[in-house]
Amino acid sequence: MTSKPLRTYVLAPSAFGFLWEECTCCYYRHVVQNFRRPSGPFPSIFGKIDIAMKRRFAGDQWHSLGAAQPQFKIAHDEQMIRSLPILFPGRSVAIVLRGKFDSILQFRDGRVVVCDFKTAPIKPENLNKYWIQLHSYAYTLERAATGSLSIPTVDALGLAVFEPDAFAYDGSNGAVLSGAMQWIDVSRDDARFMRFLDGVAAVLENSEPPMPSPECQYCRYRSAA
């Protein structure tokens, strides 16, 4: 008996974090049917702050976000990476992860850490989204496709968070945003991450999209139209 050939989907970790969490129906249409939601504007200020933070922490010296925080260097700045195909027992689809990580840090104790720099407080409801994204990058780095950046062992995951809470302007040197920074460890659980990916594969191998999320305004509009 001839086995059914696998369909391979190239998936972006950033879409796991928000599109999948918001509505699996929209995610299925995005990946399988190439039916994309309209994209809204993204404020450029967050990108500018991100660039400024990384520029401040660049170089060969050690940095820290506070006296009790780990010391680090930026080992790799953002770049596109791609994983080997991921197979799931009994599934008719394979998954390749492809996306751009934020930063790879080297801690002073020798650990290699996948990091996202964030501006504004981290909402508890978004922690799972960041957890999925960071795991995706760690998995991809450890199982990199040929030609992609490869790191045999990623030791930890985390968020470097800047929370602006003050604005200063002196009339001659321009304006300054200031606030605290903190490091947030994100616990690693590879078994849970693989269960998540298996759940994604289970949705993608179906011939029809799943039911829309009750809160999805895009699906409501599509249905009404």
pLDDT category, 130, cuts 50, 70, 90?
Answer: very high
Place of tokens 């994604």: 200
Q: What is the pLDDT of residue 2?
A: 41
65-69, 133-137, 159-163 — which is least confidently predicted? Answer: 65-69
Residue type, 91: R
34-38, 68-72, 99-103, 210-214 — which is least confidently predicted? Answer: 34-38
Rg (CA), the chain: 20
Q: What is the pLDDT of residue 37?
A: 85
CB 16, CB 203: distance < 8 Å: no
Residue 193 has pLDDT above 90, yes or no: yes
Q: How are beta strands 103-107 and 80-82 bridged, if at all? A: unpaired
The Cα–Cα gap between 95 and 7 comes to 9
Model pTM? 0.91
pLDDT one-digit tens code per residue, 43-86 = 888 889 999 999 999 999 999 998 888 999 999 999 999 999 99
pLDDT one-digit tens code per residue, 84-117 = 999 999 999 999 999 999 999 999 999 999 999 9
Q: Which of 160, 153, 132, 133 is nearest to 70 (CA)?
A: 160
Q: What would the mean pLDDT of 119-128 be, rounded to a whole number?
A: 87
The Cα–Cα gap between 105 and 211 comes to 40
Domains of the chain, first to last: 7-224 (3.90.320)
Q: What is the pLDDT of residue 3?
A: 54
